[in-house]
Chain A
């Protein structure tokens, strides 16, 4: 099946710094990628939808200036958490759509654990 990778898998950063998370579709072209965040013991909440070559669409309550999303190619989307604070500590998961099947199945990355100290 299709594979989506994320890098890094785990990152610790100091408050006030920025951190970039990469999401790559390894064996297919992803016209759309989604970014979710998951707090401990909670469900996944959609942060934004990213389409290749266009600006990301953010969900209500998600600060677009804080969570910068770039989808520069059909295989790579990046999420940059700017001026990170401890409350940004979370598990960030991306997914990618393969538009080759009738149901447009989403393939999820393994997630990135962000800890802000």
Chain B
């Protein structure tokens, strides 16, 4: 079975500071990994995805994530937080293309000025 654990339900950073959102996965087969962002009362927007190509994945809005098989991690980072980054972030895993996603519980990112 596959699962995703997001460490820290709430992360607070100052504007301009580094953003680090943690995600660890469990999968018996090579996973596909995703990070999504959700703004209040809206659907999900894909930030980036790992599909067994390069381990360092760059996404939209300067977000990136690194797939580390040895650590079963796929942490999301951004060098400099903006106020507009404040949202809910979800890490998700699937075991192959075309299958449903299994989501972590989400991390709320707050950005203060």
Contacts and interface: CB of A to CB of B under 8 A. Distances in A.
B43 A109 contact: yes
Contacts of B32: 103
Interface in A24-40: 32, 34
Contacts of B100: 34, 46, 49
Interface stretch (B21-29, B69-77, B78-86, B102-110): B102-110
Given A103-B49, A106-B101, A113 B41 contact: yes
Contacts of B102: 46
Interface in A88-117: 91, 93, 95, 97, 99, 101-106, 108-111, 113
Contacts of B44: 44, 93, 95, 108
A43 interface: yes
**A interface, size bucket:** 20 to 34
Contact of A104 (B36, B43, B97, B105): B97
B42 interface: yes
**B interface, size bucket:** 20 to 34
Chain A interface mostly helix, strand, loop or mixed? strand
A105 B90 contact: no
A6 B42 CA distance: 11
Contacts of B45: 108
21 contacts: A4-B43, A42-B105, A43-B90, A43-B106, A44-B103, A45-B103, A49-B100, A95-B44, A95-B101, A97-B98, A101-B97, A102-B97, A103-B97, A106-B101, A108-B44, A108-B45, A109-B43, A110-B42, A111-B41, A111-B42, A113-B41
Interface of A: 4, 6, 32, 34, 42-46, 49, 91, 93, 95, 97, 99, 101-106, 108-111, 113
